Structures are given as structure tokens and as C-alpha cells.
Structure 1
Amino acid sequence: MKDSGYFYFNPDYLIFEADTTNEEMTLRLGLKTETHANALHTQRIGRITIDQHYSLDNVNTSQDTTLFDDVIFLRNKNKPVIRPEVILRAVYLKKDELYNRRDHNITLNRLMSMGNFKFVQMKFTDNDSTGLLDVAILLTPLPINTFRAEMELVTKSNNYTGPRMNVSLLNRNTFGGSEQLKLNMAGSFEAQLNAINKGLFSYTFNPQLELTFPRLLVPFQLKPSHNIYTPQTRFAFAYNYIKRVNYFDMNSLLFSYGYKWKKNARITHELTPINISNTSLSNESDDFKALLVANPYLKKSYDEQFVAGESYSFTYNDPSTTEKVAQHFLQLRAESAGGLFSLINSISGNHPSPDHPGTILGMVYSQFVRLDADARTYINIGNKDKLAMRFYAGAGKAFGNSASLPYSRQFFSGGPNSVRAFAINSLGPGDYQQQTTGGFLQTGGDIKIEINAEYRFDIYSFLKGALFVDAGNVWLQASNPVNLGNPFRLNSFLSEMAVGSGIGLRLDVSFFVLRFDLATPLRKPWLPSADRWVVNEINPFKADWRRENLMLNIAIGYPF
């Protein structure tokens, strides 16, 4: 009824009457006698007033009034405002149209999702002179500028420890159209503390600029949507500098342009038609060059670091609630790069190949496709316990201009959010055992499969516990020219899955989770096939076994 203009109608006005005459029962739906008369008449929208600086604490005495498209806008003379046409894109109630509860809810949600307002209220009043329903939209703004600084002490499972600092400045109305401009400056220092690689360290510097528009910026006209969520267009510029002392300096420039929109509360789409990154190495040490000579796959990965392509992701995420027995999460992602450049080269008569690669502005570009899927299920057990399960699979294929995936697009396994019994990114490919290089230069793969299961339970108040088992690995494809470990084969990959298990302790204070996971390997894929299961070797009372097999992961947040 409320979707058809009956603003004052209430379901409590309905009454069911039962008639059981002649051994038959007839139900009649009627109205209670106390039903208000105005509940039986439709209401049309009258005057619409929008106050951008509404506050309960202060009476605004310095307001300007502006009429735009039959809507009255109130603004504080001394404060910045969002342009009227931008706000009206989120207002679906129109003057002289029938009241509609759906348009009411869309307006509330769209105004809130703009990210500019702390509270959004709508007040309706009868206008006795016109007989219409006047609307006042009261917007309580968030601060235009927000500054945030974070300092962390990071400890990784590759034994590197050090401070990380992140400083960000957010402007919520950059050009007067609710655009959000965020400047982020991050830096870190990490040092190896164990005896094997003591003295190795690295530091990073990562400035990033993001500009987000509360609409889809496209070169054609879009039909108005009645979705309650505001779509976004995002531009991002970033520069990453990494200093790997005794190895190399890495400089990376990144630019992306894409869209994000929600179909409903569960489904989110992200499309990035332009995604460009260029990475270059300098100050390469003799030790690093020797490593690349010994590992042609790693060398090829670092050679091809100009990536220009597009990507798409689909995310399904059930709202987290204890009322449902199970919640599900699914994310599917696809990425391709280099196709347009190869097409241009082919039209011009060139036929790029890994041996004779094509270039753009003098740079060899990567050409590949990459797909991955991340599926999770959370099963509530009782009021507080939970069984969390995750399956991840990904595959990438280099072709045309490239012989292998660029390093940044390879798959890695092992670490605090992966197979926790093994050091970060240390597994694979296949049955290959990686040699230590200070934790910086792990070898990735073309294919990745991981399976995780974790039983989470309460211990006391914010102290939580977990029992978990992880399995996974990465592989090269059989077509990859590099002979490094067994390639992926359907009849053998299960026997090459690393397996680990352990216990966890979590400090969960709702907005912050500090996680300690202690794990040990149960199966090591690099050992001979008959000796890979190492359960019978577990001996926590032996110092040598503890040193080689116990892996303590310290991380922020849950692993999945």
C-alpha cells in the first residue's frame, strides 16, 4: 500500500474475520473501525526542502536559500556545499508524484552511501493549504577533511620484523560534487633477525592518490536506476619504491580506472577497463644477478613487468548474522593484459613472440590471462562457535608476447593467510623445494589450489581459540618452458599438496583482531613421494624439530 501512495496506511488497520456457518470457514479481510480517514487516501509529494548542514545542537542563523529544480536547498554561508544537481541524483521522491515507500528507502540509502553525511533523516508533514505531503531532508555532514595516522610493528613468517607507518588525508567534497580525494603515504622498514640471514633488510615508500566519483562516468547516457546503492567511478595513481638491500631497487608506477556497483546487499561488481603498471629494477647486485642466472623462470618474471590490461570481479557475500546457520562468500576474478598491443602489432605486420617480443614505447609488455575463485562457508555452531572453510583456485596463462606470468601476477602459497605451517610464499612450484634467499625472492606458479578449515571457539570474553588444518601448493603449467618442479597434472597434484595443522589464539575486540597461529607441517611435497607425510616425526620435545617445523604466524585479522 505504501508503494502506491498510501503514506498513512498501517498494516495494523487490517483485520481478518472468520465465518464458520454451514461447517465451512470463510475468511474476510477488512478494516478496523478505528482506521484513520487519511490512511484511505493517497498522498502526493509537495514541497521538498533539503538542509545540507542540519544539526540538533546548533540553530543555524546564517543560512542561504536556493531554489533548484523545484527543490528548496538550505545551506550554511560559511561551509562548503555539494552542488544541488549532485544531491538530486540521490533523491527519488519528486514533487507532485505519489508517495512511494520504495523511493523513500532508495533516497535514504543513496544519500548515506555518498559518504558525506553522518546522519540522514526525512520528515513528512501535511500542508493544509495544498493538501500535499511536504518533505524535509535533513543531512548532518561528516567533516570535510579527515586525517589519519597509523603505526604498526609488523612481524612476518619469513622472520622479517619492523615498523610500518601509514598517513592518509581524505577530502569528501573535492570539486563540490561529493568527490572523495584520498592521499595515502605509507612506508616500512623490515630487518631479518634470525642468525641465518641476520643483517638483511628492506624498506619501502608507497604514496597513492585515489579519486572517487559517486556515479558512473561513461561516454553515453545511462537509464536511471532504482538500486538503493550509489555506483562509483575510481581513479588511482600510485608509486611504489622497494629497496632490497644487497639485491636490488624496484620502482613501480601504477594507474587504474574502474567502476564499482552493487546489485543488492550481497552482490558487488567491479570492472576496471584500464589497469596499467610498469616496474623497473635498478642497482642490481652481483648476488641477485647470480640468482637470476640460476633461475631462468625468476629472471623471465622480472624481465616482463609492463602490464596494461583490464579486470573484472564478482563478489557474493552473505550478511554476517547469528540467526543463519551458514553464511557464504564467493569471489570470482578475471584479468587479461597485452591483447590490444598484440593486435596493433599484428595489424602492422609484426608477430610478437617470447623470442622476439613486441614493445610499446620501448618496453616489453606482458600478455596473459588470469582467473581465480575464492569460496568460503561459515557455519555457526551454537551461539558462539563457528566452523570456517575456504577453497581457493587460480590459474594464469602467458601467451603471445610472454613466456611466463609477470612476477606480480604469479600465484604464491604459504604464510599467515595461506598454508600456515610453511613460511610466506615458500611452497612450490610442485615438488620443488625453494632455497632461502632471505625471504625476498620466492618463486611463484601458474596454478594455485588451497583448502583451509578452521574451528573457532570462545575461551573467555575477547579471547578466542582455533584449531585449523591447511592444504595447498602452486604449480607451473606443463607448457611453461621452465623446468622447475613437477608441472600441474590432474593425476598427481593431490600428492603434491602441502598439508599443515595447528592451534590459534586470537584477541578479538570487535574492531581489532590480533592473531597468533602456531602450525606444523604434516606433509612436505618436496620429499620423495613415499616420505612426504611427516606426522610420525612430530616431536615437540626435541629442539631441532621445533626449530625446523614450528611456524608462529602473527597477523592482524582473521585468515579468511
Structure 2
Amino acid sequence: MRNNLSKITLLFVIGTIIYSCSLVKRVPESEKLLTKNEIFVNDELNKEDRINNLVVQQPNTKFLNYPFGLTLYNAAKPNPDSSYQAWLNKKPNRIKNLNRFLSAKQVNRLGKSFFVSGLSNFMKETGEAPVIIDEKKAIRSKERLSGFYYNNGFIRNTVTMSIDSLGKKKGKIVYKITTGKPYFIDSISKFIETPAIDSMYTLQEKKSFIKKGDQYSYLNFDNERKRITQYLRNNGVYHFQESNVKYDAIIDDSVQKMNINLKIEDRYVKDGDTLTKRPFTVYKISQVNIFTNNTSKKERNQFNDSVTYRNFNIYSAGKLKYKPKAITNAIFIEKGKLFSDNDRTLTSKSLSNLKVFNYPNIEYVEDPSDSTNTSLIANIYLMSKPKYIWQPSIDVTTSDVQEFGISGRMAFTWRNLFKRAETFELSAKGNIGSSKDLANPNNVFFNISEYGVEGKLSFPRIVFPLDTRKIIKKEMLPTTNANIGLTSQRNIGLDKENLTGVFNYNWTPKQKNTIRFDLLNIQFIKNLNPENYFNVYTSSYNTLNDLAQDYNVDPANFENGNLTTQGAVNFINDVENGSTSLNPSDQDYKVIRSIGERRERLIENNLIVSSGITFFRNTKASLLDNSFYSIRTKIESAGNVLSLLAGTKNEDLNQNGNETMFGIEYSQYIKGEIDFIKHWDFGKKNTLAMRAFAGLAVPFGNAQSIPFSRSYFSGGSNDNRGWQAYSLGPGRSGGINDFNEANFKLAYSLEYRFRVGGNFYSAFFADIGNIWNVFDNITDEDYTFNGFSSFEDLAFGSGIGLRYDFDFFVFRFDLGYKAYDPGREVGDRWLKGVNFSKTVLNFGINYPF
């Protein structure tokens, strides 16, 4: 035993030495690899990310405490082209021998190939070069740390820096910060030269970010400078800039106090070669000129058509193509109003929202006809987008349904349809494909098809019989959309014809909030080939076929020892009619009845007419913002309008005893959802992301269940990644169906994302959730939500993911495992799916949430 222990110790020591040497393989002899930064604040080690991120040089990124990126970089050849040439010339006959098979040009190009130099170049680009300690950068870091504490009130802080050796060609940098005592604001005074500015500031002085008695903070001073500028520029002071706000500070070191003097001097104006001081002026808008169809500055004064509408002067280089109201409704800069940056920004957004113009150019010039020099002329230059757009596209696809497919789409866009900035889009799509799973007696290669047509009409306003402008103001950028579409499938599943129609409104009540109101959402689904059910839902068929071997009473249901598709239906009817030996209390009876109920639900035609409202808020400031949250809530109600209409038509009830419309049983339910996402940025491209979701759809009135298209499923690359899509739940049933769905869902996901090296990222994730049946026609307790006890049915999936960032999208590859499987017997649920052979592979584009 001692001998083995000594061998293990020796191997460990040798491995450590080799590992240590490999890290500094590309570090020059006179340099040191930066292994870590240590920051001591008042003699205590500080590990806050916001402090550590101030350091300019950071050690190489580590994955599970291993510098994967650095190792990858070190494994690459430093100069693969030179190494290749050296290899060629090492033996005199090597080039001659290669030239027997390749030309001289090909031999030289071989050095550029992936396996000779391309692999090394890829490893260097993907990996990370060693971070060599740079004293100049360390001094910059020292200055940044000092500046940070200065800006937070520690005016007399001191920072020292030292580079410590950690062995051969390795080192660390130690920063020691002594903050000293914080400084507080003792008094605030002001000096504002322009009387008008002084009066305006006094009205808003109580909103100041700078308060007497507060600890000094540069951020408060910066926010106050922005607040003053924003307020003045939104109230007519056109020439005011942030740089006009200045502060003087008198510091008393004996008591750590600061006396602040706010200074706003008159502006400097260049008059010839000299600068003169002038008071700030409050400007009003005297004219608003709108120039349409202009392509260059040279054409701005060339117009053939003009009109004055509600104090707006509209000019066009050719015949005016727009009704004046369509343009002026989108403009918030008005004659007689004070100049305002907010009006300019809102005008730009509103004009862009029309989708018929490129981004507008808005300019202000002083009105030469105003002797008081207090007027501005606003000139708005608009360039129209193309009126007609034709967009054909074609793709080659493959999926679980088809081995090979060709899809095409043709879209025609017509802008400014009724001369009020409407947009109409008509598109047609088609797909033909080949599937070996289908019967193909004529041996036709393309044996499946799907085609459809869709029309979309968008209005940049609310289209409603009543005036809604007091509720939904034009500042909220409202739009109205009307869509209608028809698709048809052949030899795909049960084959469907799908008719959809949507009439909705969208508006933005606040900058980060949007609301969508679906006044009418219609969906009609007709199954053309319900006889194909058991060819599609093979798991249900296999279960039924196995049970039929024991309980079937009619030999005509079999062919070659297996149920025919019609025989499967007959067998279900025989069981429910009591023609077999099964009793309703038997478990096998319940399974067969459940399969029959599911079949009836999925082959029935659906008529859904619903209304709903969705609220969405997203606080993300930019693409680089990794600290934000979003929340989406939705309430939808279906069937109420049809319920009223059905009472007037007096149609006969169907075989289920429910009302019909045009011979089809209509759906009736109410549905509510909430989806919350939160991201925390820990710096160094490390992010914690969380998602919580809850949704419930309750059938009532004319329905006992929710249509398949409106139900919930669990599992998949954007859900619980320990299970494939549709394979989890409901409840503890074990996901025995081909497509498992229900009307109640809970889901929670947590994911820690971090950088591995280069553009490679990774993540650890945990997903919790499940679906259940509740308030519908399913009564089996394995499927239904039964109060707090059903929280034991929450499935727990976990795993690790690898991602590659292509800048414009992220390719995602996640390995999921069933950490807790409620479909297993109690006491046998934990960690039974954590096995490499049971890995669930998930591929996706961009992050799951």
C-alpha cells in the first residue's frame, strides 16, 4: 500500500510540474504570467466584482479553475508556416517526392491547409494568449482604483501596487488601498448668469441629486448635470449643453467637508474671429416644414407640390403621395410650442413607426424673420422607402417529418396602400418533401406537401369606430394589424387545413412597456385524415396493441398478429362497451380509455375565437446589457362571442351534447400566463439568468378540455432540458404518450453562464417544472394537480452547456440529465437519469431565455 501511495504521489508531482510548465510555455524568459490580482482595502482582501473589474489586466479565463483557453493557445504552433517550410527542407528529397503527386503550387498551398496551419491558427484565435504582467497597465489600474474611491467620497485615498513572483515565469499583482475618511457636502450655492435659466432652475431645485449632508458621489453630480440639461432643453433652451453645467468645490480637510458652488455661465458665441458672451434664449417653434421624397441636400429646395395642413408646411419633390394627416399625426413638433428634445425624439420614433420612410432627418434653424431672435424653424426631411417590394426565397430542409424537403416563399409588400402610411403584405409559401415513413404505392419521391397563403395589413394608428385618442394617445405609437392566413398539409400527421385570422392593436404606454390587445383571434383547424391517428401516435398504438393481445375479443381487429388502425379503434370501443373481460376499476381499462379519450380530442376539428391582452416590459438597455429583467403577462378568453351567436342559430347539439357553430364544436376557455426573466451581470462575462413561468387554461361552458394548439407541454431545448419536447408529464404519469400536453404548467430555470475562452462560453443549468391537468375532463390523479402534494411531481433536470458566439447569433449545445424524475416510483426518482448513456442532447440558436 505504501509503495502504491508513493507512486501516486510521484505521478501527481510530475503531473503538476508538467501542467505548471505548460502554462508558461509561451511566456518569454524575462516576463511573468499574471496568475491573479489581489486587492486589499484598508488591509482587508476585497473580492467584489465591481472593484476587481477596474483592474486593466485580468488573468486568463478559467473553466472549472482550469485555463482552457490558455492551454488551447499554447498547444498551437507559434509559426506553422515556418515550421512547414522547415519540415519541407529538412530532407533534400522531400519536396521532390511530394512533387510526384502534387504540383509545386499545391505543395506550397499545403502549408496553408487546415491540418498544417489552419488548425494552429484556429486554436490561437479561439484560445487566449498568456496575459503577461505589464507594469504600465498595472499603474493605470492603480489610478483607476484611486479614481473610483475618489468619486465615491474618499478624496484623500492612497493606492500602492507591487508585483510579486510566484515561481518561474509566474506572478501576481497586489494593490493596497487606504481609503481615508469620506467627505460630505456641507453647503450648496449657485451662480447662474442668465435670469431666465436661474428662474427655471429654481422651480426644479428640489429635484436635485445633490443634497446637503450627503457623502460626495461623482455619479450624483453627473446625474444632476444631465437632469438640468434635459429639463432646460425640453423647455425651449435650444443652445444649452451638459458642458454648460460646472461645479466648484472648496474642500476642508480638517473636517472632511465640501462646499459646492453650481455655475451656469452665459454661452460663448463665435462672432467672426472673436468669442462673445450671450445669455441663453428660450425658443419657440415658428414654422414646421416637412420635405418628402428628398434624396439629397441639393433637392431640399426643389419641390413641385406643397400643402399647408394644421400649421404644417408639407413639400414634395414630385406629386405628394401621402395624405397630410398621415404624416402630421406622427409629428410632435408643433408651431407655437417651446423647443423640446423629447418632441424631436418622439417625432423620429413615430415617423419610423410608419414604416414608409427611412430614419428622418430633423434640423432646427433660427428664424431670420423674427426680430426678437427667439424663434426656431423645424425642417423635417423624409425619404420614402420603396413602395413595392418583391421578396422570393427558397430553402432546402430536413426534419423528423421529412428526410428531404424544398420550401419556397414569395412575399409582396405594398407600402402606403391608402396613402395614409398603411402597409400590406401578401405572401405565399409551399413545401414539398420526401418521407420514407409513409405508404408510397406509386413510388413518388415527393410524397408530402404543405402550402399556404397569408395577407397582412398594418395601420399606424388605432382603427376603431369610437375615438380612442384620450385613452391611447399618439405618443404611445399605436398600430392596428389585420392578418388572415390559410395553410394545408398533405401526408403530414393527420393532414390539416388551418384558417387563421387576427385583428389586434399594439401600443407603447411607456418607453419599456408594450401592450397588445387581440380584439379577435380566429383559428379553424380541420383534420383531413383522422384515420391516420395510430400511424402518427405510435406509442399509443404500441400500448394498445400489447394490451389487445390479452383482451381483444374480435379476431377481425387483427392482421398478421397486430391490430389494424381500424381494429385499434374497434378494440377501444369494445373495452368501453364492456365487451371484454376488463372492468372500469382495472388499471388496463383506465389506460385504454385514456388513449381513446386522447384520440377523440386530437382528431376533432377545432374552432377557436378568442380575445386577449398581453403586457410586456423589458428593462434591457442595449445588446450588451446583461443586468435586466423582463415580464410578460397575458389573459385570453375564447368562445364567449360564439356562445352568444350559437344561441341565435339554434343548431343541434353534437354527440357530446355541446353546442356547435357551422357544425363544429367551438372551444370555450379562459387562459392566463406570467413569464418573468431576470439577469444578473457578475462581470468578466459571467451572468446568472433566471426564468419563472406559470400558465393555466380553464375550459368552461361548451368545453371540457383545451384545444391541443392552446395547451402546454414540457421539455425541450428552451424548457426542461432533461427531457425531450413533449416527453415530460403530465404529473407523474411518466410521459407515456407521443405528445404529452395539459392545461396547467409551472416552470423555473436557473443558468450560470461564463466564458471558457475566445468565443466559447459554457453554462451550468437547473430546470424545474411539469404540466398537469386541472379543471378539465381528466380525473386520473397521476395526471392531475391535486394541491400541495402535486409539487412532488415537479421534475428536476440539470446539466452543462457549451455555446459559441458568432456575434450575430449564439449556437447552443446543452447536455441535460434527469436529476429527479416524477415518472418513476417513489424512492427511485433521484439521480437515476444522471448517466452519460442517458444524456438528452439539446441544440438551439441563441440563449433559452
Q: What is the TM-score when the length of structure 2 is the normalising length?
A: 0.58
**Which residue is equivalent to 2:453?**
207
Q: Does 1:178 align with 2:425?
A: no
Structure 1 residues 296-336: Cα deviation after superposition (integer angstroms, max 9, x where no partner): 03422542510112011111111145886731111111111
**Which residue is equivalent to 1:527?**
824
Higher helix share: 2
Q: Which amino acid aligns with 1:495?
A: E
Q: Label 1:286 to 1:537 Cα distance change in 2 as closer, same or farther (>3 A).
A: closer
Q: Label 1:167 to 1:35 Cα distance change in 2 as closer, same or farther (>3 A).
A: same
Structure 1 residues 421-452: Cα deviation after superposition (integer angstroms, max 9, x where no partner): 22221222212234465xxxx13101111111
Q: Does 1:41 align with 2:281?
A: yes
**1:125 deviation in Å?**
1.1
Q: Does 1:8 align with 2:239?
A: yes
Give the Cα separation in 2 of the matches to 1:559 and 1:152.
Answer: 25
State the SS of the aligned residue for 2:712: coil
Match of 1:138 among 381, 384, 391: 381
Contact 1:335 1:371 in 2 (8 A): yes
State the SS of the aligned residue for 1:525: coil
Q: Label 1:75 to 1:531 Cα distance change in 2 as closer, same or farther (>3 A).
A: same
Give the Cα separation in 1 of the matches to 2:393 and 2:769.
Answer: 33
After TM superposition, list the pairs within 5 Å mapping 1:16-27 onto structure 2.
none
Contact 1:304 1:366 in 2 (8 A): no
Q: Does 1:252 align with 2:484?
A: no
Give the Cα separation in 1 of the matches to 2:450 and 2:636.
Answer: 27
**Which residue is equivalent to 1:330?**
631
Q: Which amino acid aligns with 2:631?
A: L
Give the Cα separation in 1 of the matches to 2:487 and 2:667.
Answer: 19
State the SS of the aligned residue for 2:360: strand
Q: Does 1:472 align with 2:776?
A: no
Gaps of 5+ in 1: 541-545
Give the Cα separation in 2 of the matches to 1:226 and 1:209.
Answer: 28
After TM superposition, list the pairs within 5 Å mapping 1:261-300 onto structure 2.
261-285=507-531, 287-288=533-534, 294-300=595-601
**Which residue is equivalent to 1:543?**
none
Q: Which amino acid aligns with 1:312?
A: I
Q: Which amino acid aligns with 2:848?
A: P
Give the Cα separation in 1 of the matches to 2:334 and 2:523.
Answer: 45
Q: Which amino acid aligns with 2:240?
A: F
State the SS of the aligned residue for 2:234: helix
**1:489 deviation in Å?**
1.9
Q: Does 1:493 align with 2:771?
A: no
Contact 1:152 1:165 in 2 (8 A): yes
User: Which stretch of structure 1 is more off in the superposition, 115-124 or 155-164?
Assistant: 155-164
Structure 1 residues 470-518: Cα deviation after superposition (integer angstroms, max 9, x where no partner): 2222111165245483311222322222222223233332323332223
State the SS of the aligned residue for 1:263: strand
State the SS of the aligned residue for 1:300: helix
Q: Label 1:30 to 1:556 Cα distance change in 2 as closer, same or farther (>3 A).
A: closer
**1:525 deviation in Å?**
2.4
**Which residue is equivalent to 2:83?**
none
Structure 1 residues 202-260: Cα deviation after superposition (integer angstroms, max 9, x where no partner): 65334322111111112122336766542110101111223344x52111101110101
Q: Does 1:553 align with 2:842?
A: yes
Contact 1:113 1:229 in 2 (8 A): no
User: Which stretch of structure 1 is more off in the superposition, 421-430 or 202-211?
Assistant: 202-211
Q: Does 1:506 align with 2:803?
A: yes
Q: Label 1:422 to 1:29 Cα distance change in 2 as closer, same or farther (>3 A).
A: closer
Match of 1:32 among 247, 265, 274: 265
**1:348 deviation in Å?**
8.6
Contact 1:214 1:231 in 2 (8 A): yes
Q: Which amino acid aligns with 2:773?
A: L
Give the Cα separation in 1 of the matches to 2:453 and 2:828.
Answer: 48
Contact 1:301 1:405 in 2 (8 A): no
Q: Does 1:64 align with 2:283?
A: no
Matched residues, number: 542
After TM superposition, list the pairs within 5 Å mapping 1:375-524 onto structure 2.
375-435=676-736, 437=738, 442-477=739-774, 479-481=776-778, 483=780, 485-524=782-821
Q: Which amino acid aligns with 2:415?
A: R
State the SS of the aligned residue for 2:304: strand
**1:25 deviation in Å?**
9.5
Q: Label 1:414 to 1:296 Cα distance change in 2 as closer, same or farther (>3 A).
A: same
Give the Cα separation in 2 of the matches to 1:15 and 1:358.
Answer: 74
**1:365 deviation in Å?**
0.9
Q: Which amino acid aligns with 2:314?
A: F
Q: Label 1:417 to 1:14 Cα distance change in 2 as closer, same or farther (>3 A).
A: closer
User: Which stretch of structure 1 is more off in the superposition, 373-382 or 124-133?
Assistant: 124-133
Give the Cα separation in 2 of the matches to 1:338 and 1:287.
Answer: 27
Question: Which has the greater radius of gyration?
Answer: 2
User: Which stretch of structure 1 is more off in the superposition, 29-38 or 44-53?
Assistant: 29-38
Contact 1:304 1:406 in 2 (8 A): no
Q: Does 1:52 align with 2:52?
A: no
State the SS of the aligned residue for 2:732: coil
Q: Label 1:183 to 1:351 Cα distance change in 2 as closer, same or farther (>3 A).
A: closer
Give the Cα separation in 2 of the matches to 1:177 and 1:388.
Answer: 43
Give the Cα separation in 1 of the matches to 2:406 and 2:378.
Answer: 52
Q: Does 1:114 align with 2:322?
A: no
Structure 1 residues 92-151: Cα deviation after superposition (integer angstroms, max 9, x where no partner): 122233323332222122112222333212111122223431111112333334444556
State the SS of the aligned residue for 1:233: strand
Q: Which amino acid aligns with 2:847?
A: Y
**Which residue is equivalent to 1:316?**
617
Greater length-normalized contact order (CA 8 Å, ≥ 6 residues apart): 1
State the SS of the aligned residue for 1:119: coil
Q: Label 1:237 to 1:519 Cα distance change in 2 as closer, same or farther (>3 A).
A: same
**Which residue is equivalent to 2:462?**
216
**1:274 deviation in Å?**
0.7
**Which residue is equivalent to 1:75?**
316
Contact 1:304 1:402 in 2 (8 A): no
**1:29 deviation in Å?**
5.5
Contact 2:693 2:746 in 1 (8 A): yes
Higher strand share: 1
Q: Which amino acid aligns with 2:711?
A: Q
Give the Cα separation in 2 of the matches to 1:150 and 1:467.
Answer: 38
Give the Cα separation in 2 of the matches to 1:519 and 1:175.
Answer: 53
State the SS of the aligned residue for 1:248: coil
Contact 2:267 2:279 in 1 (8 A): no
Give the Cα separation in 2 of the matches to 1:445 and 1:486.
Answer: 9
**1:64 deviation in Å?**
2.0
**1:366 deviation in Å?**
0.7
Give the Cα separation in 1 of the matches to 2:835 and 2:282.
Answer: 78
State the SS of the aligned residue for 1:309: strand
Structure 1 residues 510-538: Cα deviation after superposition (integer angstroms, max 9, x where no partner): 323332223232233222122122x2564
**1:417 deviation in Å?**
1.5
Give the Cα separation in 2 of the matches to 1:258 and 1:320.
Answer: 27
State the SS of the aligned residue for 2:672: strand
Contact 1:55 1:140 in 2 (8 A): yes
Give the Cα separation in 2 of the matches to 1:495 and 1:433.
Answer: 13
State the SS of the aligned residue for 1:102: helix
